[in-house]
Chains A and B, each alone.
Chain A
Amino acid sequence: MLNYIWAGLIVFSLVFAMVHDLRDLSRDTYRNDRPLPVTLHFPEGYDPDARRVPLTVTIDPETFGAFYGTEARPAASYEGVLVQTREGRQLRFAEDVAVPEPLSTIRAMTSARDNDLRGLIGPLTLRGDTLAATTVTFPPVRFVKMHAIAEAAIDFAETAVTLALGLIGTLALWMGLLQIADRAGMLYSLVRLTQPVLRPLFPGIPKDHPALAMIVLNLTANMLGLGNAATPLGIKAMEELQKLNPEPDTATNDMVMLLAMNTASVQIVPPVLLVAIMGLQINQLFFSILIVTLLSLIVAIASAKVLGRLKAYRDTDPQRAAAGTGREDAGT
């Protein structure tokens, strides 16, 4: 199923980006190569031959709306500079100012590094000493979404690595602590204590096996809203389950069960991130979150169990294939 979801995400992204960009082209959303009327306000006593002239730009809201066919309206005025370049006189808006769509997209596409909207100025019609009516033509913008998906793919690939490397510290800490707990015999006592409850859910785990201890620790950390501690413990539990797996590239029923219980994530204490966002308001949500997670935990357990019995999934069960048909059936 993950294969289809994954391929679906990628293929649909491409199709959508293409449809969106073709629609932009046919509607000419960005009015490529067409001049937008603007008014320039020069400072008193400016030098007409200077290479850079600071000024303010005003765009008539009605003209703007009609030109781009949009509801968005520009601000009353923008700071900017007029720069002499080889291609002609260029108007540069101040960096990082808030501009309405589609100008912000044009800026993002054509001046990503400096983040200042740039366009070439047409002939000036002077009105008095400091005022001039003119037009500005922004560089053409095409295939916005195509650029966007390519950029997103690269950005998120980097994010993934940052996320994974960010885990190293907490992973190492918890793996170290668990190693001590294991050597001190603490995990064994935990297994003895909890296996009457947990073993029916994880029939593939033999009696007194350390995997149970890791599962308990993982679920407990989850319940207490300790997301950062829950992940290393869950990974450790997966490693223990993998030791019982005769086919290392295929998930066992127990692994799926652990995953389902994690996604349902019973929360007695809400996750740290949510507390940070909601502040004291979170107190009100204590019971609603508890009720929802408890019931969805039941649903998660049930769906993991029931789906595991479907023929397609039963045939791919690594432990069943290895054990023949005997032992596993007796357990469930």
Chain B
Amino acid sequence: METVRTLLDILSVFVLPTIIVGFPLYGLIKKVPVYEEFVEGAKEGFNVAVMIIPYLVAILFAIGMFRASGALDFLIDGLRPVLGWLGVPPEVLPMMIIRPLTGSGSAAIVLDMINQYGEDSLLVKMAATMFGSTETTFYVIAVYFGAVNVKKTRHAVPAGLIADVFAMFLAIYVVRLLFG
């Protein structure tokens, strides 16, 4: 287990330099005007970033308001008994609800839980597993669809949320099974 882990760590360190150097090097061998092509492609980066702004603003300000109004805390309190019945410890509930909404917010929750319950606690392991195995779904939707100006997202939100909810519950059970 440890060797696999170390190997993967080393691999992940080398991936970026390999790509960043390897792509132009390979291009050079294939007689591609690498500098010109790079600049040509890179121009697009600015346009894409500007294109996603309206989508990001729309999603983030709504989430920000929801949090500031106290509605999020109310939602968490309201769901507590229901989820307790499903075996969800009440302490990880904020993580489950905030994770799809904001990445920095859920990172702050993990930090806060480490301070409160200690790094070794089951609760922190659950929260960290949730953090590691799901994405900020609404941010991803805003960025990916925003970049190509897609407004009608069809079943993207439900599909993403189903996967999120499943992963959240699974994280609790898997951590209990492995460490509990």
Contacts and interface: CB of A to CB of B under 8 A. Distances in A.
B145 to A, nearest CB: 7
Contacts of B69: 12-14, 16-17, 20, 145, 148-149, 152
Interface stretch (B80-88, B89-97, B167-175): B167-175
Nearest to B9: A269
Given A155-B64, A232-B45, A292 B133 contact: yes
Interface of A is mostly: helix
Contacts, number: 351
Contacts of B67: 152
A239 interface: yes
B171 to A, nearest CB: 5
A304 B153 CA distance: 12
A163 interface: yes
A291 interface: yes
Interface stretch (A82-90, A116-124, A198-206, A252-260): A252-260
A256 B155 contact: yes
Contacts of A5: 157
Interface stretch (A64-72, A93-101, A178-186): A178-186
Interface string B26-68: 1101101010011111111110111011001111111111111
A152 to B, nearest CB: 4
B129 A288 contact: yes
A263 B160 contact: yes
Contact of B65 (A152, A241, A255, A256): A152
Query: How big is chain B's contact interface, by range?
Result: 35 or more
B159 A303 contact: yes
B18 to A, nearest CB: 11
Query: How big is chain A's contact interface, by range?
Result: 35 or more
Contacts of B175: 288
A322 interface: no
A168 interface: yes
B76 interface: no
B63 A303 contact: no
B151 to A, nearest CB: 5
Contacts of B37: 176, 179-180, 183
B62 A10 contact: yes
Nearest to B15: A224
Contact of B163 (A174, A287, A303): A303
Contact of B134 (A165, A265, A310): A265
B12 A307 contact: no
A154 B67 CA distance: 13
A65 B151 CA distance: 52
Given A156-B57, A156-B60, A269-B11, 18 more contacts: A2-B157, A12-B71, A156-B65, A164-B49, A167-B52, A175-B48, A178-B23, A234-B144, A242-B150, A256-B153, A256-B154, A263-B100, A278-B119, A281-B128, A286-B5, A303-B162, A307-B159, A308-B155
Sort A-B residue pairs by CB-CB distance and give the 7 closest, nearest first.
A179-B41, A172-B45, A156-B64, A171-B45, A152-B68, A300-B163, A176-B42
26 contacts: A9-B65, A13-B65, A13-B68, A13-B71, A17-B70, A153-B65, A156-B63, A161-B56, A168-B49, A169-B45, A175-B45, A176-B42, A178-B41, A180-B27, A182-B41, A184-B29, A235-B48, A250-B150, A259-B141, A269-B12, A281-B120, A287-B178, A289-B132, A293-B133, A295-B167, A296-B134
